Chains A and B, each alone.
Chain A
Amino acid sequence: MTEAFARANPHHQPRGPNVHVIPYNPEAPDQTPSLYPPYASTVKRSPSLPLVRIPQTLTEVTGPGAVWDRLLGPAMLDLTKQHKGEPLGQRIIVSGRVLDENGRPVPRTVVEVWQANAAGRYIHARDQWDAPLDPNFTGVGRVITDDAGRYRFVSIKPGAYPWGNHKNAWRPEHIHFSLFGPAFATRLVTQMYFPGDPLIPIDPIANAAPGEARERMVSRFDIETTQEAFALSYIFDIVLRGRQATPFETQP
Protein backbone atom coordinates (compact mmCIF):
# COMPACT_ATOMS: atom_id res chain seq x y z
CA MET A 1 0.00 0.00 0.00
CA THR A 2 1.47 3.35 -0.97
CA GLU A 3 1.47 6.12 1.60
CA ALA A 4 -0.68 8.29 -0.62
CA PHE A 5 -3.21 5.52 -1.02
CA ALA A 6 -3.22 4.89 2.73
CA ARG A 7 -3.83 8.56 3.47
CA ALA A 8 -6.68 8.74 0.96
CA ASN A 9 -8.26 5.53 2.26
CA PRO A 10 -7.59 5.40 5.99
CA HIS A 11 -9.96 2.51 6.61
CA HIS A 12 -8.90 0.37 3.69
CA GLN A 13 -8.06 -3.24 4.46
CA PRO A 14 -5.87 -4.82 1.77
CA ARG A 15 -7.32 -7.94 0.21
CA GLY A 16 -4.48 -10.38 0.08
CA PRO A 17 -0.85 -9.34 -0.26
CA ASN A 18 -0.39 -5.94 -1.94
CA VAL A 19 -3.72 -6.04 -3.76
CA HIS A 20 -6.16 -3.17 -3.65
CA VAL A 21 -9.39 -3.65 -5.49
CA ILE A 22 -11.49 -0.51 -5.56
CA PRO A 23 -14.53 -1.55 -7.52
CA TYR A 24 -16.20 0.41 -10.28
CA ASN A 25 -19.82 1.45 -10.01
CA PRO A 26 -22.31 -1.08 -11.30
CA GLU A 27 -23.93 -0.68 -14.64
CA ALA A 28 -26.55 2.08 -14.38
CA PRO A 29 -30.19 0.97 -14.03
CA ASP A 30 -31.00 2.75 -17.29
CA GLN A 31 -28.26 1.03 -19.29
CA THR A 32 -29.35 -0.57 -22.52
CA PRO A 33 -30.77 -4.11 -22.05
CA SER A 34 -29.48 -7.06 -24.07
CA LEU A 35 -32.98 -7.97 -25.22
CA TYR A 36 -35.00 -5.32 -27.03
CA PRO A 37 -37.42 -7.07 -29.39
CA PRO A 38 -38.01 -4.05 -31.68
CA TYR A 39 -34.35 -4.64 -32.69
CA ALA A 40 -35.15 -8.06 -34.11
CA SER A 41 -31.65 -9.54 -34.00
CA THR A 42 -31.58 -9.30 -30.20
CA VAL A 43 -34.33 -11.91 -29.85
CA LYS A 44 -32.08 -14.90 -30.57
CA ARG A 45 -28.83 -13.33 -29.44
CA SER A 46 -29.55 -12.30 -25.85
CA PRO A 47 -29.24 -14.54 -22.79
CA SER A 48 -32.47 -16.09 -21.50
CA LEU A 49 -31.04 -16.85 -18.05
CA PRO A 50 -30.12 -14.23 -15.46
CA LEU A 51 -26.53 -13.02 -15.37
CA VAL A 52 -24.43 -14.27 -12.47
CA ARG A 53 -23.28 -11.38 -10.28
CA ILE A 54 -19.65 -11.58 -9.20
CA PRO A 55 -17.46 -9.31 -7.09
CA GLN A 56 -14.90 -7.26 -8.98
CA THR A 57 -11.43 -8.79 -8.70
CA LEU A 58 -8.09 -7.75 -10.12
CA THR A 59 -9.30 -9.18 -13.43
CA GLU A 60 -12.15 -6.68 -13.72
CA VAL A 61 -10.35 -3.58 -12.41
CA THR A 62 -7.29 -3.93 -14.64
CA GLY A 63 -7.16 -3.31 -18.37
CA PRO A 64 -4.88 -2.55 -21.31
CA GLY A 65 -5.97 1.08 -21.63
CA ALA A 66 -2.56 2.53 -20.82
CA VAL A 67 -0.79 0.52 -23.51
CA TRP A 68 -3.27 1.01 -26.34
CA ASP A 69 -0.56 2.14 -28.77
CA ARG A 70 1.43 -1.06 -28.32
CA LEU A 71 -1.72 -3.00 -29.06
CA LEU A 72 -3.37 -1.02 -31.80
CA GLY A 73 -0.68 1.15 -33.36
CA PRO A 74 -0.59 4.92 -33.87
CA ALA A 75 -3.52 7.32 -33.82
CA MET A 76 -5.57 7.96 -36.98
CA LEU A 77 -7.06 11.39 -36.38
CA ASP A 78 -8.21 12.47 -39.82
CA LEU A 79 -10.59 10.18 -41.67
CA THR A 80 -10.51 12.48 -44.71
CA LYS A 81 -6.80 11.95 -45.35
CA GLN A 82 -6.48 8.18 -45.61
CA HIS A 83 -6.53 7.90 -49.40
CA LYS A 84 -5.34 9.74 -52.50
CA GLY A 85 -8.24 12.18 -52.72
CA GLU A 86 -10.70 13.89 -50.43
CA PRO A 87 -13.87 11.95 -49.64
CA LEU A 88 -17.23 13.33 -50.74
CA GLY A 89 -19.57 14.73 -48.13
CA GLN A 90 -19.92 17.39 -45.48
CA ARG A 91 -16.63 17.76 -43.62
CA ILE A 92 -17.09 17.64 -39.83
CA ILE A 93 -15.00 17.96 -36.69
CA VAL A 94 -16.09 15.70 -33.83
CA SER A 95 -14.71 16.42 -30.39
CA GLY A 96 -15.60 16.00 -26.77
CA ARG A 97 -14.47 14.71 -23.44
CA VAL A 98 -14.35 11.26 -21.93
CA LEU A 99 -15.33 11.44 -18.25
CA ASP A 100 -16.23 9.05 -15.49
CA GLU A 101 -19.40 9.26 -13.42
CA ASN A 102 -17.67 11.50 -10.92
CA GLY A 103 -16.96 14.00 -13.70
CA ARG A 104 -13.25 13.21 -13.70
CA PRO A 105 -11.53 13.16 -17.08
CA VAL A 106 -10.35 9.82 -18.44
CA PRO A 107 -6.92 10.77 -19.82
CA ARG A 108 -4.85 9.04 -22.49
CA THR A 109 -7.48 6.51 -23.38
CA VAL A 110 -8.08 5.33 -26.92
CA VAL A 111 -11.36 5.96 -28.72
CA GLU A 112 -11.93 3.83 -31.81
CA VAL A 113 -14.47 5.13 -34.33
CA TRP A 114 -15.99 3.79 -37.52
CA GLN A 115 -18.82 4.93 -39.76
CA ALA A 116 -20.56 4.80 -43.12
CA ASN A 117 -19.69 7.21 -45.92
CA ALA A 118 -21.70 10.30 -46.89
CA ALA A 119 -24.12 8.18 -48.89
CA GLY A 120 -24.75 5.87 -45.95
CA ARG A 121 -22.68 2.99 -47.34
CA TYR A 122 -20.15 0.99 -45.32
CA ILE A 123 -16.89 -0.16 -46.83
CA HIS A 124 -17.91 -3.75 -46.17
CA ALA A 125 -18.75 -6.62 -48.52
CA ARG A 126 -21.86 -7.50 -46.51
CA ASP A 127 -23.35 -4.04 -46.95
CA GLN A 128 -25.57 -4.69 -49.94
CA TRP A 129 -27.24 -1.31 -50.14
CA ASP A 130 -26.64 0.17 -53.60
CA ALA A 131 -25.56 3.61 -52.46
CA PRO A 132 -22.14 4.39 -53.92
CA LEU A 133 -18.87 3.51 -52.26
CA ASP A 134 -16.29 6.28 -52.01
CA PRO A 135 -12.77 5.09 -52.91
CA ASN A 136 -11.38 7.94 -50.83
CA PHE A 137 -13.19 7.01 -47.65
CA THR A 138 -12.76 4.02 -45.38
CA GLY A 139 -14.43 5.51 -42.32
CA VAL A 140 -12.17 4.29 -39.53
CA GLY A 141 -10.28 6.33 -36.96
CA ARG A 142 -8.50 6.06 -33.67
CA VAL A 143 -8.17 9.04 -31.34
CA ILE A 144 -6.59 9.50 -27.94
CA THR A 145 -7.81 11.62 -25.07
CA ASP A 146 -5.43 14.22 -23.65
CA ASP A 147 -4.76 14.88 -19.96
CA ALA A 148 -8.15 16.58 -19.66
CA GLY A 149 -9.94 13.67 -21.33
CA ARG A 150 -10.46 15.61 -24.57
CA TYR A 151 -10.44 14.02 -28.01
CA ARG A 152 -10.95 15.37 -31.54
CA PHE A 153 -11.11 13.96 -35.05
CA VAL A 154 -12.00 15.10 -38.55
CA SER A 155 -14.38 13.15 -40.77
CA ILE A 156 -17.35 13.58 -43.06
CA LYS A 157 -20.97 13.37 -41.97
CA PRO A 158 -22.23 9.81 -42.45
CA GLY A 159 -25.46 9.22 -44.33
CA ALA A 160 -28.56 7.37 -43.16
CA TYR A 161 -29.20 3.94 -44.63
CA PRO A 162 -31.93 1.28 -44.82
CA TRP A 163 -31.42 -1.89 -42.81
CA GLY A 164 -34.37 -4.24 -43.18
CA ASN A 165 -35.22 -4.59 -39.49
CA HIS A 166 -38.84 -3.69 -40.18
CA LYS A 167 -40.85 -2.02 -42.92
CA ASN A 168 -39.10 1.10 -44.19
CA ALA A 169 -36.40 0.90 -41.51
CA TRP A 170 -33.61 3.48 -41.75
CA ARG A 171 -30.74 3.96 -39.34
CA PRO A 172 -30.19 7.56 -38.29
CA GLU A 173 -26.84 9.07 -39.19
CA HIS A 174 -24.35 7.80 -36.63
CA ILE A 175 -20.71 7.16 -35.80
CA HIS A 176 -19.70 4.05 -33.83
CA PHE A 177 -17.49 4.69 -30.76
CA SER A 178 -15.50 2.08 -28.85
CA LEU A 179 -13.71 2.92 -25.59
CA PHE A 180 -11.53 1.03 -23.14
CA GLY A 181 -11.22 3.35 -20.18
CA PRO A 182 -8.93 2.23 -17.36
CA ALA A 183 -10.31 -1.27 -16.75
CA PHE A 184 -12.04 -4.30 -18.21
CA ALA A 185 -15.07 -3.05 -16.24
CA THR A 186 -15.13 0.34 -18.01
CA ARG A 187 -15.33 -0.93 -21.59
CA LEU A 188 -18.01 0.84 -23.64
CA VAL A 189 -19.24 0.67 -27.22
CA THR A 190 -21.81 3.24 -28.23
CA GLN A 191 -23.06 5.25 -31.20
CA MET A 192 -23.05 9.02 -31.63
CA TYR A 193 -26.07 10.58 -33.30
CA PHE A 194 -26.62 14.03 -34.78
CA PRO A 195 -28.98 16.65 -33.34
CA GLY A 196 -32.39 16.99 -34.92
CA ASP A 197 -32.25 13.75 -36.90
CA PRO A 198 -35.91 12.76 -37.44
CA LEU A 199 -34.93 9.09 -37.60
CA ILE A 200 -33.71 8.95 -33.98
CA PRO A 201 -37.16 8.76 -32.33
CA ILE A 202 -38.17 5.84 -34.57
CA ASP A 203 -34.88 3.91 -34.50
CA PRO A 204 -35.02 0.66 -32.47
CA ILE A 205 -31.30 0.63 -31.73
CA ALA A 206 -31.19 4.18 -30.36
CA ASN A 207 -34.43 3.58 -28.48
CA ALA A 208 -33.08 0.46 -26.80
CA ALA A 209 -31.53 3.01 -24.43
CA PRO A 210 -34.52 3.77 -22.21
CA GLY A 211 -36.06 7.15 -21.51
CA GLU A 212 -33.78 10.15 -21.55
CA ALA A 213 -30.69 7.92 -21.73
CA ARG A 214 -31.09 8.00 -25.52
CA GLU A 215 -30.43 11.73 -25.53
CA ARG A 216 -26.96 11.18 -24.05
CA MET A 217 -25.93 9.72 -27.40
CA VAL A 218 -26.98 12.79 -29.40
CA SER A 219 -24.10 15.15 -30.13
CA ARG A 220 -24.62 18.89 -30.21
CA PHE A 221 -23.75 21.29 -32.98
CA ASP A 222 -21.28 23.94 -31.84
CA ILE A 223 -20.66 27.14 -33.77
CA GLU A 224 -17.74 28.17 -31.54
CA THR A 225 -15.58 25.23 -32.59
CA THR A 226 -16.93 25.15 -36.11
CA GLN A 227 -13.94 26.07 -38.24
CA GLU A 228 -14.49 28.87 -40.71
CA ALA A 229 -14.33 27.77 -44.35
CA PHE A 230 -13.41 24.24 -43.26
CA ALA A 231 -15.83 22.09 -41.26
CA LEU A 232 -18.93 21.99 -39.04
CA SER A 233 -18.29 21.00 -35.46
CA TYR A 234 -20.18 18.51 -33.29
CA ILE A 235 -19.46 17.86 -29.63
CA PHE A 236 -20.01 14.50 -27.97
CA ASP A 237 -19.08 13.85 -24.35
CA ILE A 238 -18.90 10.25 -23.15
CA VAL A 239 -19.30 9.01 -19.58
CA LEU A 240 -17.77 5.71 -18.50
CA ARG A 241 -18.42 3.77 -15.32
CA GLY A 242 -16.73 5.56 -12.42
CA ARG A 243 -14.91 4.24 -9.43
CA GLN A 244 -16.75 4.43 -6.17
CA ALA A 245 -15.71 7.81 -4.82
CA THR A 246 -15.32 6.90 -1.16
CA PRO A 247 -15.68 3.14 -1.14
CA PHE A 248 -14.87 2.56 2.50
CA GLU A 249 -16.72 5.34 4.24
CA THR A 250 -19.35 2.94 5.59
CA GLN A 251 -16.72 1.02 7.51
CA PRO A 252 -16.01 1.95 11.13
Chain B
Amino acid sequence: MSAETFKQTPWQTVGPFFHYGLPWKGGADLVAGEGELGARLDVIPAGHYLLGPTQTAREPAAGEPIEIVGCVRDGDGQPIPDALVEIWQANPQGRYASDADAREAAALDPNFIGFGRASTGVDGVFRFRTLKPGRVPGVGDALQAPHIAVGIFGRGLLKRLVTRIYFDGEAANAEDPILALVPEPRRETLIARRDGGVWRFDVRLQGDGETVFLEF
Protein backbone atom coordinates (compact mmCIF):
# COMPACT_ATOMS: atom_id res chain seq x y z
CA MET B 1 0.00 0.00 0.00
CA SER B 2 1.29 3.47 -0.80
CA ALA B 3 1.19 6.36 1.66
CA GLU B 4 -1.62 7.72 -0.48
CA THR B 5 -3.79 4.96 0.87
CA PHE B 6 -3.55 6.13 4.46
CA LYS B 7 -5.29 9.46 4.22
CA GLN B 8 -8.14 10.09 6.61
CA THR B 9 -11.52 8.87 5.46
CA PRO B 10 -13.79 11.93 5.12
CA TRP B 11 -16.52 12.73 7.60
CA GLN B 12 -20.14 12.52 6.45
CA THR B 13 -23.37 13.45 8.17
CA VAL B 14 -25.38 10.89 10.13
CA GLY B 15 -28.40 12.20 8.19
CA PRO B 16 -31.92 12.33 9.63
CA PHE B 17 -32.57 8.59 9.94
CA PHE B 18 -29.89 7.44 12.41
CA HIS B 19 -32.35 6.64 15.20
CA TYR B 20 -32.44 2.89 14.54
CA GLY B 21 -28.68 2.83 13.86
CA LEU B 22 -26.92 4.62 16.70
CA PRO B 23 -28.79 5.39 19.94
CA TRP B 24 -29.37 2.28 21.99
CA LYS B 25 -32.03 1.93 24.69
CA GLY B 26 -30.60 3.19 27.96
CA GLY B 27 -27.59 4.70 26.21
CA ALA B 28 -28.16 8.05 27.89
CA ASP B 29 -28.25 6.49 31.36
CA LEU B 30 -24.59 6.06 32.28
CA VAL B 31 -25.45 5.08 35.85
CA ALA B 32 -27.73 2.07 35.41
CA GLY B 33 -27.98 1.65 31.61
CA GLU B 34 -31.61 0.62 31.92
CA GLY B 35 -34.83 1.83 30.37
CA GLU B 36 -35.08 3.67 27.08
CA LEU B 37 -33.29 6.93 27.87
CA GLY B 38 -31.49 8.17 24.77
CA ALA B 39 -33.57 6.23 22.25
CA ARG B 40 -36.41 7.47 20.01
CA LEU B 41 -38.85 4.58 19.80
CA ASP B 42 -41.51 6.96 18.46
CA VAL B 43 -39.92 7.12 15.01
CA ILE B 44 -39.17 3.41 14.48
CA PRO B 45 -41.85 0.81 13.65
CA ALA B 46 -42.49 -1.93 16.20
CA GLY B 47 -40.08 -4.83 15.87
CA HIS B 48 -37.36 -2.75 14.21
CA TYR B 49 -35.68 -1.14 17.21
CA LEU B 50 -32.88 -3.65 17.64
CA LEU B 51 -30.41 -1.61 19.69
CA GLY B 52 -30.05 -2.42 23.37
CA PRO B 53 -30.31 -2.34 26.22
CA THR B 54 -27.07 -4.24 26.49
CA GLN B 55 -27.25 -7.81 27.68
CA THR B 56 -24.64 -7.45 30.37
CA ALA B 57 -26.48 -7.12 33.68
CA ARG B 58 -24.64 -4.96 36.17
CA GLU B 59 -25.03 -3.07 39.39
CA PRO B 60 -25.63 0.67 39.14
CA ALA B 61 -22.43 2.70 39.26
CA ALA B 62 -21.43 4.05 42.67
CA GLY B 63 -22.16 7.71 43.25
CA GLU B 64 -24.86 10.35 43.36
CA PRO B 65 -26.60 10.47 39.96
CA ILE B 66 -26.98 13.81 38.24
CA GLU B 67 -29.12 14.72 35.28
CA ILE B 68 -27.94 16.89 32.42
CA VAL B 69 -30.62 18.38 30.20
CA GLY B 70 -30.27 20.66 27.21
CA CYS B 71 -31.79 21.82 23.95
CA VAL B 72 -29.87 21.87 20.68
CA ARG B 73 -30.81 24.87 18.54
CA ASP B 74 -29.88 26.05 15.04
CA GLY B 75 -28.85 29.47 13.75
CA ASP B 76 -32.45 30.70 13.91
CA GLY B 77 -32.86 29.48 17.48
CA GLN B 78 -35.10 26.63 16.35
CA PRO B 79 -34.85 23.34 18.28
CA ILE B 80 -33.26 20.51 16.29
CA PRO B 81 -35.28 17.28 16.56
CA ASP B 82 -32.81 15.14 14.62
CA ALA B 83 -29.56 15.66 16.51
CA LEU B 84 -27.56 13.13 18.49
CA VAL B 85 -25.38 13.98 21.48
CA GLU B 86 -22.52 11.82 22.75
CA ILE B 87 -20.63 12.31 26.00
CA TRP B 88 -17.35 10.91 27.32
CA GLN B 89 -16.17 11.49 30.85
CA ALA B 90 -14.08 10.27 33.76
CA ASN B 91 -15.68 8.63 36.77
CA PRO B 92 -16.06 10.53 40.09
CA GLN B 93 -12.53 9.46 41.06
CA GLY B 94 -11.17 11.13 37.94
CA ARG B 95 -10.33 7.94 36.05
CA TYR B 96 -11.21 7.14 32.45
CA ALA B 97 -12.38 3.60 31.65
CA SER B 98 -9.84 3.38 28.86
CA ASP B 99 -6.61 1.52 28.19
CA ALA B 100 -4.98 4.90 27.63
CA ASP B 101 -5.54 5.91 31.25
CA ALA B 102 -3.34 3.60 33.31
CA ARG B 103 -3.17 5.70 36.50
CA GLU B 104 -3.76 3.37 39.38
CA ALA B 105 -4.02 6.16 41.92
CA ALA B 106 -7.57 6.84 40.72
CA ALA B 107 -9.85 3.80 41.00
CA LEU B 108 -11.96 2.36 38.20
CA ASP B 109 -15.61 1.48 38.87
CA PRO B 110 -16.43 -1.70 36.89
CA ASN B 111 -20.01 -0.45 36.60
CA PHE B 112 -19.19 2.92 35.06
CA ILE B 113 -17.82 3.38 31.55
CA GLY B 114 -18.50 7.07 31.07
CA PHE B 115 -19.77 7.04 27.49
CA GLY B 116 -23.35 7.91 26.61
CA ARG B 117 -25.49 8.67 23.59
CA ALA B 118 -28.79 10.58 23.49
CA SER B 119 -31.11 11.53 20.65
CA THR B 120 -32.83 14.87 20.83
CA GLY B 121 -36.61 14.70 21.03
CA VAL B 122 -39.13 16.52 18.84
CA ASP B 123 -38.46 19.50 21.12
CA GLY B 124 -34.70 19.39 20.48
CA VAL B 125 -34.05 18.30 24.06
CA PHE B 126 -31.54 15.66 25.14
CA ARG B 127 -31.18 14.19 28.60
CA PHE B 128 -28.39 12.25 30.31
CA ARG B 129 -28.28 10.54 33.69
CA THR B 130 -24.69 10.24 34.86
CA LEU B 131 -22.22 10.91 37.66
CA LYS B 132 -20.28 14.09 38.14
CA PRO B 133 -16.74 13.43 36.92
CA GLY B 134 -13.67 13.95 39.08
CA ARG B 135 -10.66 16.01 38.08
CA VAL B 136 -8.19 14.60 35.57
CA PRO B 137 -4.70 15.79 34.62
CA GLY B 138 -4.54 18.45 31.97
CA VAL B 139 -1.57 20.19 30.43
CA GLY B 140 1.70 19.97 32.29
CA ASP B 141 1.04 19.32 35.97
CA ALA B 142 -2.20 21.27 36.08
CA LEU B 143 -5.40 19.43 36.90
CA GLN B 144 -8.46 20.11 34.82
CA ALA B 145 -11.75 21.13 36.37
CA PRO B 146 -14.50 18.48 36.28
CA HIS B 147 -15.75 18.33 32.70
CA ILE B 148 -17.48 16.13 30.15
CA ALA B 149 -16.45 15.90 26.49
CA VAL B 150 -19.40 16.33 24.13
CA GLY B 151 -19.87 15.42 20.47
CA ILE B 152 -22.85 16.63 18.48
CA PHE B 153 -24.11 14.95 15.31
CA GLY B 154 -27.24 15.37 13.23
CA ARG B 155 -28.87 16.08 9.93
CA GLY B 156 -27.07 19.10 8.47
CA LEU B 157 -23.95 18.43 10.54
CA LEU B 158 -21.40 17.11 8.07
CA LYS B 159 -19.06 16.25 10.91
CA ARG B 160 -19.10 16.04 14.67
CA LEU B 161 -18.98 19.29 16.59
CA VAL B 162 -17.07 18.98 19.87
CA THR B 163 -17.58 20.98 23.01
CA ARG B 164 -17.26 20.48 26.77
CA ILE B 165 -19.56 20.66 29.75
CA TYR B 166 -18.15 22.30 32.89
CA PHE B 167 -20.13 22.81 36.09
CA ASP B 168 -21.15 26.17 37.51
CA GLY B 169 -19.79 26.92 40.98
CA GLU B 170 -16.65 24.78 40.65
CA ALA B 171 -13.73 26.74 42.06
CA ALA B 172 -11.45 24.73 39.76
CA ASN B 173 -13.03 26.33 36.70
CA ALA B 174 -10.92 29.43 37.34
CA GLU B 175 -7.70 27.46 36.87
CA ASP B 176 -8.78 25.06 34.14
CA PRO B 177 -6.19 25.13 31.34
CA ILE B 178 -8.75 24.49 28.57
CA LEU B 179 -11.34 27.02 29.72
CA ALA B 180 -8.51 29.55 29.88
CA LEU B 181 -8.10 29.21 26.09
CA VAL B 182 -11.69 30.28 25.48
CA PRO B 183 -12.31 34.02 25.15
CA GLU B 184 -13.81 35.09 28.47
CA PRO B 185 -17.15 36.40 27.14
CA ARG B 186 -17.86 33.01 25.51
CA ARG B 187 -16.82 30.76 28.42
CA GLU B 188 -20.32 30.67 29.84
CA THR B 189 -21.47 28.63 26.84
CA LEU B 190 -19.43 25.72 28.25
CA ILE B 191 -20.83 25.89 31.77
CA ALA B 192 -23.87 23.89 32.85
CA ARG B 193 -26.04 25.65 35.43
CA ARG B 194 -28.30 24.30 38.14
CA ASP B 195 -31.94 24.43 37.07
CA GLY B 196 -34.27 22.86 39.56
CA GLY B 197 -32.88 19.41 40.19
CA VAL B 198 -30.93 19.14 36.94
CA TRP B 199 -27.90 20.62 35.26
CA ARG B 200 -28.91 22.68 32.26
CA PHE B 201 -26.61 22.73 29.23
CA ASP B 202 -28.11 24.19 26.06
CA VAL B 203 -26.28 24.06 22.75
CA ARG B 204 -26.53 26.77 20.13
CA LEU B 205 -24.94 25.65 16.87
CA GLN B 206 -24.85 29.13 15.38
CA GLY B 207 -25.85 32.73 16.08
CA ASP B 208 -26.74 34.43 19.38
CA GLY B 209 -24.91 32.77 22.23
CA GLU B 210 -23.20 30.38 19.85
CA THR B 211 -21.63 27.52 21.79
CA VAL B 212 -17.85 27.38 21.75
CA PHE B 213 -16.76 24.40 19.66
CA LEU B 214 -13.31 22.92 20.04
CA GLU B 215 -10.70 21.39 17.74
CA PHE B 216 -7.63 19.43 18.69
* A residues apposed to B, CB below 8 Å: 15-19, 23, 26-28, 30-34, 36, 39, 41-49, 51-67, 69-74, 76, 82-83, 99-103, 112-114, 116, 122-127, 133, 138-140, 176, 178, 182-185, 187-191, 205-206, 208-209, 213-214, 216-217, 237-242
Pairwise interchain contact A18-B102, C-beta atoms closer than 8 A? yes
A208 vs B12: C-alpha distance when bound (angstroms): 8
Pairwise interchain contact B88-A57, C-beta atoms closer than 8 A? no
Pairwise interchain contact A45-B74, C-beta atoms closer than 8 A? yes
**B181 proximal to A (CB < 8 A):** yes
Report A-chain residues with C-beta under 8 Å of the C-beta of B149.
59-60, 184
* B residues apposed to A, CB below 8 Å: 1, 5-22, 24, 27, 42-45, 47-48, 50-56, 74-76, 78, 80, 82, 86, 88, 90, 96-105, 113-115, 136-144, 147, 149, 151, 153-161, 164, 177-178, 181-183, 186, 205-207, 210-216
Pairwise interchain contact B12-A185, C-beta atoms closer than 8 A? no
Listed A/B pairs (24) with beta-carbon separation below 8 Å: A27-B215, A28-B8, A30-B7, A32-B10, A42-B157, A44-B75, A45-B75, A45-B206, A52-B213, A53-B216, A57-B178, A59-B90, A59-B96, A61-B100, A64-B98, A64-B113, A72-B52, A73-B53, A114-B18, A114-B21, A122-B17, A138-B48, A176-B14, A176-B15
**Given A44-B206, A71-B54, A140-B20, A125-B45 contact (CB < 8 Å):** yes
A73 vs B82: C-alpha distance when bound (angstroms): 24
Report A-chain residues with C-beta under 8 Å of the C-beta of B54.
69-73
Pairwise interchain contact A59-B12, C-beta atoms closer than 8 A? no
A5 vs B212: C-alpha distance when bound (angstroms): 35
Report B-chain residues with C-beta under 8 Å of the C-beta of A205.
12-13, 158
**Given A33-B158, A66-B98, A205-B12, A112-B22 contact (CB < 8 Å):** yes
Q: How far is the CB of B184 from chain A (nearest CB, A)?
A: 12
Pairwise interchain contact B212-A52, C-beta atoms closer than 8 A? yes
Pairwise interchain contact A70-B9, C-beta atoms closer than 8 A? no
A245 vs B80: C-alpha distance when bound (angstroms): 40
Report A-chain residues with C-beta under 8 Å of the C-beta of B155.
41, 45
A30 vs B86: C-alpha distance when bound (angstroms): 25
Pairwise interchain contact A62-B50, C-beta atoms closer than 8 A? no
A45 vs B158: C-alpha distance when bound (angstroms): 9
A30 vs B10: C-alpha distance when bound (angstroms): 8
A26 vs B214: C-alpha distance when bound (angstroms): 12
Q: How far is the CB of B95 from chain A (nearest CB, A)?
A: 10
Pairwise interchain contact A124-B8, C-beta atoms closer than 8 A? no
Pairwise interchain contact A57-B136, C-beta atoms closer than 8 A? yes
The 6 A-B residue pairs with the shortest CB-CB distance, nearest first, are: A114-B21, A41-B156, A209-B10, A62-B98, A45-B156, A44-B75
- Chain A residue at minimal CB-CB distance from B150: A184
- Chain A residue at minimal CB-CB distance from B139: A55
Report A-chain residues with C-beta under 8 Å of the C-beta of B186.
49
Pairwise interchain contact A39-B140, C-beta atoms closer than 8 A? no
Pairwise interchain contact A125-B43, C-beta atoms closer than 8 A? yes
Report A-chain residues with C-beta under 8 Å of the C-beta of B51.
72-73, 140
Pairwise interchain contact B206-A48, C-beta atoms closer than 8 A? yes
A46 vs B76: C-alpha distance when bound (angstroms): 12
A188 vs B153: C-alpha distance when bound (angstroms): 11
8 Å CB contact of A70 from B10, B22, B113, B141: B113
Report A-chain residues with C-beta under 8 Å of the C-beta of B22.
112, 114, 178
Pairwise interchain contact A103-B1, C-beta atoms closer than 8 A? yes
Pairwise interchain contact A48-B207, C-beta atoms closer than 8 A? yes
- Chain B residue at minimal CB-CB distance from A51: B215
Report A-chain residues with C-beta under 8 Å of the C-beta of B141.
15-17
- Chain B residue at minimal CB-CB distance from A216: B9
Report A-chain residues with C-beta under 8 Å of the C-beta of B16.
124, 126
8 Å CB contact of A18 from B5, B97, B103: B103
Report A-chain residues with C-beta under 8 Å of the C-beta of B183.
52
Pairwise interchain contact B139-A17, C-beta atoms closer than 8 A? no
Report A-chain residues with C-beta under 8 Å of the C-beta of B206.
44-48
Report B-chain residues with C-beta under 8 Å of the C-beta of A72.
24, 51-52, 54
8 Å CB contact of A184 from B88, B161, B211: B88
